[in-house]
Chains A and B, each alone.
Chain A
């Protein structure tokens, strides 16, 4: 059971927009920054969003992040087949004194 809760899967058609949620608590998302990682099949994760809503250099601006209270969201616009991957949220948890990850969401582009 993950400290951060994500839907196991989402799906959407190409060129559409999809949103992935990440629900936490006051000890993690409520106090600390949220990062998002993309993991393509058989590959290492890749930093997609940091500090809630900042996009690293080299990452497409089709990816965006937001946070409100103890929840965060990742949005992907203009979906492409190459976006099919697992997406993980992460945040530092003050109670556990550990970096915690969500359970991951598998995105399928129909």
Chain B
């Protein structure tokens, strides 16, 4: 099955950080950019940023600039999203999604990772 596999649910306190992983499965890791999209409960999809897994070039939404880092490890065909200074409004399901390099056509989506921020 062609689907990135994400790490499990996380719970954090306000002010902490979280790092979510996304491992490629069933497709060529280096042919696709990896995007991160989140969805708060009952809310719309929200794009956070993306990475070119070949050269490591990243692009971030201005909303998250300075608070998010997207990275990748080519040998383990895994991408990561780290979000810092968490607040309750960051409670959401975080998805990784792969799109052909240079496009924003998000072809393959991970199963999602629920991040809960609560004191």
Contacts and interface: CB of A to CB of B under 8 A. Distances in A.
Interface of A: 2, 33, 35, 37, 39, 44-47, 50-51, 56, 88, 90, 92, 96-104
Interface residues of B, number: 20
Contacts of B62: 96-98
Interface in B60-119: 61-63, 95, 97, 104-107, 109-112
14 contacts: A35-B104, A37-B45, A44-B95, A44-B109, A44-B110, A44-B112, A45-B97, A47-B106, A50-B105, A88-B44, A90-B45, A90-B106, A101-B37, A102-B44
Contact of B47 (A33, A44, A98): A98
A99 B38 CA distance: 12
Nearest to A6: B44
B10 interface: no
B21 to A, nearest CB: 16
Contacts of A102: 44
Given A88-B45, A98-B62, A99-B47, A45 B105 contact: no
B112 to A, nearest CB: 6
Chain A, interface SS category: strand
A103 B44 contact: yes
Q: Which of A33, A39, A90, A103 has the most CB of B within 10 A?
A: A90
Contacts of B106: 35, 37, 45, 47, 90
A100 B112 contact: no
Given A44-B95, A98-B62, A99-B47, A51 B112 contact: no
